[in-house]
Amino acid sequence: MARKISMKQAINEALDQEMARDPSVIMMGEDIVGGAGGNGELDAWGGVLGVTKGLYARHGDRLLDTPLSESAYIGAAIGAAACGMRPVAELMFIDFMGVCFDQIYNQAAKFRYMFGGKAETPVVIRAMVGAGFRAAAQHSQMLTPLFTHIPGLKVVCPSTPYDTKGLLIQSIRDNDPVIFCEHKNLYGFEGEVPEASYTIPFGEAAIVREGKSVSIVTYGLMVHRALEAAAALAKEGIEAEIVDLRTLSPLDIDTVIESVEKTGHLVCVDEANPRCSIAADVSAQVVQAAFGALRGPIQMVTAPHTPVPFSPVLEDLYIPSAAQIGAAVKRALAGGRH
């Protein structure tokens, strides 16, 4: 029986173990150590939410605090990766991608292809995603679809501490650019995590709950909302199968299709906004590849087409709820009506 640790601790452990194992792994980001240049403590923060605290004591100058310059330091991480290092850069909030997106999608993502297969860019960009912190519109988005869309990037979004550690270690060892999404609302969530180092391959979804009535396909925080919904539905005799995608690119569409072939009904749940979401992407792929398996229309449950509101009551309405997921399941089963 493995011990239980939080997702935050799982991230810290993965980084610690990989840095110990491989001297080419370095980290950089704003305040990942904290207190640089000041008169107080060094390692004052260990990241804005303390995720990287303690790593500086063990790995010293392989952790670099950066000035407020995403373009420059995300680009530097990418450049260093192209020169043989394995940097793990932190983009504090995925919402900040706007100021450095070129380096990610026009440079890192495209080097291997544009340079005819002769480049390797093994960079990991960790970023906090998701709503629920009352952090408002510019610090709460789920921008996974924007990165998933780009050929050349890999996108990972785990829902449990176990998946987090294994997928982060895999990300660091992977030789392509990886966007590693950490849901800020799951940092405190605890689960069983082995102490040893291990990896989880990309492109392998996990069935976190088996069922035969309906397939709920989702990722991140929504896995937990789906589990809540499934518990309620079970009381009404509806057994939902929950597929946790874990990696959005590469996407394990085969496991999704297999599940739909078993259940005949699909509900895609996504914390992102509806247009061009992961939910829309998975739904379209399933319809194209497995239309015959569907016994009713697909339902998508997403955040609304709005920015994330501040007021707690509004933010709680923004984030898809277990109740909304349950209602969507019933609509799916009823042929899409009501």
Partner 1 sequence: MAAYPFPLEKPALLEAYRRMRTIREFEERLHVDFSRGDIPGFVHLYAGEEAAGVGIIGQLGDGDRIASTHRGHGHCIAKGVDPLAMMKEIYGKKGGSCGGKGGSMHIADLSKGMMGANGILGAGAPLACGAGLAAKYRKKGEVAISFVGDGASNQGTFLESLNLAAVWNLPVIFVVENNGYAESTSRDYGVAVDSYVDRAAGFGLPGVTVDGTDFFAVHEAAGEIIRRARGGGGPALLECKMVRFHGHFEGDAQTYRASGEIDDIRANQDCLKKFAAAVTGAGVITASELTAIDHEVLDLIERAVVEAKAAPLPTAADLTTDVYVSY
| Residues with active-site annotation | 139
Spatial contact of 187 and 221, defined as CB atoms under 8 Å apart: no
- Under rule CB under 8 A, residue 92 binds partner 1: no
Between strands 4-6 and 190-192, the pairing is antiparallel
In the chain, the amino acid numbered 286 is V
- Under rule CB under 8 A, residue 67 binds partner 1: yes
In the chain, the amino acid numbered 295 is R
CA angle 255, 260, 261 (to 5 degrees): 95
Spatial contact of 181 and 155, defined as CB atoms under 8 Å apart: yes
Q: Which of residues 297-336 bind partner 1 (CB under 8 A)?
A: none
What residues contact residue 67 under an 8 Å CB cut-off, 6+ apart?
73
- Is the Cβ of residue 66 or residue 263 nearer to partner 1 in the bound state? 66
Give the contact letters, 153-172, x = binds to partner 1 (CB under 8 A), - = no.
-x------------------
CA distances from 206 to 48, 95, 158, 252 (A): 30, 27, 10, 9
- Is the Cβ of residue 103 or residue 141 nearer to partner 1 in the bound state? 103
Which of 4, 20, 44, 71 lies at the binding interface for partner 1 (CB under 8 A)?
71
- Under rule CB under 8 A, residue 267 binds partner 1: no
Cis upstream peptide for 23 (omega within 30°) = no
- Under rule CB under 8 A, residue 56 binds partner 1: no
Which of 60, 117, 237, 292 lies at the binding interface for partner 1 (CB under 8 A)?
117
Which of 21, 42, 44, 113 lies at the binding interface for partner 1 (CB under 8 A)?
113
- Under rule CB under 8 A, residue 75 binds partner 1: yes
Instruction: Return residues touching partner 1 (CB under 8 A).
Output: 26, 64, 66-67, 69, 71-85, 87, 99, 102-103, 106-107, 110-120, 151-152, 154, 174-176, 203, 250
